[in-house]
Amino acid sequence: MVEDVELNRFYWHSRRGMLELDVLLVPFVREVYPHLNDVDRDLYRRLLTCEDQDMFGWFMQRAESEDPELQRMVRMILDRVQPK
């Protein structure tokens, strides 16, 4: 289980100041991040180091990350909110 300190830290790092990103990342970190395996947690941390404009393009599906693992995390976040 993720410790509260770690969860709070990633909650604040997930708040990007861009509404389109915040509505995807903040609920993800609250509801899904605690249940991720260590590999996917590391991947989420890597995602947070990316530029907001890059992430915006990925999440709006205007572009894809050149890194297939980051693209997998983007897809995981999008799959959570998109209707099936």
pLDDT in tens, 15-48: 988 999 999 999 999 999 999 999 999 999 999 9
Alpha carbons 74 and 55: distance in angstroms, whole number: 8
Between CA 73 and CA 40, with CA 64 as vertex, the angle to 5 degrees is 10
CATH numbers and ranges of domains, the chain: 4-81 (1.10.150.250)
Alpha carbons 68 and 11: distance in angstroms, whole number: 24
Q: How many residues would you count in the chain? A: 84
Alpha carbons 50 and 58: distance in angstroms, whole number: 11
Q: What's the pTM?
A: 0.88
Between CA 78 and CA 84, with CA 80 as vertex, the angle to 5 degrees is 90
